[in-house]
């Protein structure tokens, strides 16, 4: 039995499986607005400080139907799913949508939402991608200020510094607890599946944050940490997937091949929970600082920073977790990851770090083909670890 199986975890599992259902029920129960945002850097604390529910719009598990005629097939699965959800009415629970950063494909999905729901406000606030120019901080602070004005107008509530500080503390506390699970996994003291950790993070993107924190505390209080995992398992790092969570079946398949996932830089994982918002000083400036700090804590291929890069971060992460190799999960047609992956692969190859690329799609999972590739990859790592250095 996995360590996280409990009543509290079952609640989170239900929310992760049906995020729209949770938003509908929360709105019915509270009578307050629900505001949708998109990956990866919208500061949900601003919406929370108004009393509304901030929800990161998730990729739906249902097949894409109407959306096929609204966006090209070469758009990624996340954006095509969002377009489909808008077209069939699944996003009707949302009272507004906000974006803090976006790729060209997400702009297309946002245009479909505006076409399908013309009465629903949609606010764009493009955060600067160049992170260390002299003007970067000022530009981010300006965008945070515009987000504040827009959210206040949408909800009809003023975001006071006091309310924002309360929200910042609430989200920081939640991230701290989530990182606790990841730290325990990294050490091997907590035998928890990648699927279960994804549930913890995905549900935090949807639920009212204090409610989610209470459930995390309940799970943590009931944990009985087991002994060290078997040495026979190959320790791996999962990388990629900027916007949507990898399919749970894929995560299970990988682990069934004699793998222990010890770390990741997935958006529905370490990337999302990596950075807290400073709790001192002006809270609006703190949100700008949080955005800039995130690219240091978990560098992203969509951002530019001269003294920070994703490949060096990844190598350091492997040293920290003791991972033996990397599986990169790339959503098909994800342009930012497609463009950055060759550089990432070059650095890993230069350090003789095994890496396997798996391309994912919205529908369909070539399970046996992927299983064969992962098993071969795992066997390659085992053989490499058994090599005895030859004397010169």
pLDDT digits 0-9 by tens, 15-62: 999 999 999 999 999 999 999 999 999 999 999 999 999 999 999 999
Give φ, ψ of 192 to 5 degrees. Answer: -130, 140
Lowest mean pLDDT among 93-97, 125-129, 225-229: 225-229
For the cut 90, the answer to whether the pLDDT of residue 269 exceeds it is yes
Mean pLDDT of 117-137: 93
Higher per-residue pLDDT: 352 or 223: 352
Edge-to-edge strand ranges of the sheet holding 53-56? 53-56, 34-37, 96-99, 122-124
For the cut 50, the answer to whether the pLDDT of residue 1 exceeds it is no
For the cut 70, the answer to whether the pLDDT of residue 365 exceeds it is yes
Higher per-residue pLDDT: 199 or 190: 199
The one-character DSSP state at 266 is -
For 23, left (φ over 0), alpha (ψ -120 to 50), or beta? alpha
The pTM (predicted TM-score) of the whole model is 0.94
Mean pLDDT of 162-188: 95
Q: What is the pLDDT of residue 7?
A: 93
Mean pLDDT of 349-355: 95
Q: What is the pLDDT of residue 37?
A: 97
Residues 6 or more apart from 245 whose CB is under 8 A from it? 58, 59, 198, 202, 266, 267, 268
Mean pLDDT of 109-117: 96
Q: What is the pLDDT of residue 391?
A: 46
Residues 6 or more apart from 169 whose CB is under 8 A from it? 279
Contact 93, 20 (CB under 8 A): yes
Distance of CA 23 to the CA centre of its chain: 19
Q: What is the pLDDT of residue 382?
A: 93
- Hey, is 360 helix, strand or coil? strand
Distances (CA, A) of 373 to 231, 342, 367, 370, 380: 22, 20, 10, 5, 10
Q: What is the pLDDT of residue 226?
A: 66
Domain ranges of the chain: 15-157
337-248-94-41 Cα dihedral, nearest 10 degrees: -30
Mean pLDDT of 252-257: 96
- Cβ-based burial of 17 (10 A; exposed 0-12, middle 13-18, buried ≥19): middle
Q: What is the pLDDT of residue 390?
A: 44
Angstrom distance (rounded) from CA 297 to CA 313: 9
Q: Give the pLDDT confidence of 298-338 residue by residue, as tens digits.
A: 999 889 998 899 999 999 999 999 999 999 999 999 998 99
Angstrom distance (rounded) from CA 186 to CA 179: 10
Q: What is the pLDDT of residue 128?
A: 93
Mean pLDDT of 51-75: 93
Q: What is the pLDDT of residue 389?
A: 54
Closest CA to 2 of 302, 224, 327: 224
Tell me what the pLDDT averaged over the chain comes to: 93
Give the CATH number of domain 15-157. 3.40.50.11890
Most confident of 91-100, 215-224, 307-316: 91-100
């Amino acid at each position: 039995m996995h360590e996280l199986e409990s009543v509290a975890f079952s609640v989170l599992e239900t929310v992760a499986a049906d995020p729209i259902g949770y938003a509908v029920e929360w709105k019915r129960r509270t009578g307050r607005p629900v505001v949708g945002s998109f990956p990866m850097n919208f500061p949900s604390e601003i919406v929370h400080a108004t009393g509304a529910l901030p929800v990161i719009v998730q990729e739906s598990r249902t097949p894409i139907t109407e959306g096929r005629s609204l966006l090209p097939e070469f758009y990624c699965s996340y954006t095509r799913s969002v377009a489909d959800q808008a077209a069939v009415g699944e996003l009707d629970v949302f009272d507004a949508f906000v974006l803090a950063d976006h790729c060209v494909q997400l702009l297309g999905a946002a245009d479909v939402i505006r076409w399908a729901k013309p009465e629903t406000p949609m606010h764009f606030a493009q955060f600067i991608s160049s992170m260390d120019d002299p003007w970067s901080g000022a530009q981010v602070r300006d965008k945070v200020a515009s987000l504040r004005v827009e959210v206040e107008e949408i909800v009809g509530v003023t975001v006071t510094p006091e309310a924002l500080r309360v929200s910042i503390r609430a989200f920081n506390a939640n991230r701290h607890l989530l990182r606790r699970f990841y730290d325990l996994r990294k050490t091997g003291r907590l035998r928890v599946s990648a699927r279960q950790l994804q549930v913890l993070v995905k549900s935090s993107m949807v639920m009212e944050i204090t409610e989610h924190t209470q459930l995390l505390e309940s799970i943590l209080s009931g944990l009985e940490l087991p002994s060290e995992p078997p040495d026979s398992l190959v320790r791996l790092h999962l990388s990629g997937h900027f916007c949507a969570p990898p399919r749970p079946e894929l995560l299970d398949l990988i682990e069934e091949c004699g793998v222990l996932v010890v770390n990741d830089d997935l958006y529905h994982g370490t990337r999302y929970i990596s950075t807290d918002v400073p709790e001192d000083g002006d809270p609006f400036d703190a949100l700008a600082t949080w955005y800039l700090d995130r690219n240091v804590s978990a560098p992203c291929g969509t951002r530019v920073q001269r003294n920070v890069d994703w490949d060096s971060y990844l190598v350091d992460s492997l040293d920290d977790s003791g991972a033996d190799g990397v599986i990169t999960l790339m959503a098909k047609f994800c342009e930012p990851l497609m463009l950055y992956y060759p550089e990432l692969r070059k650095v890993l190859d230069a350090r003789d770090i095994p890496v396997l690329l798996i391309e994912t799609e919205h529908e369909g999972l070539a399970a046996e083909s992927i299983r064969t590739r992962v098993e071969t990859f795992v066997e390659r790592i085992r053989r490499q670890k058994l090599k005895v250095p030859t004397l010169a």
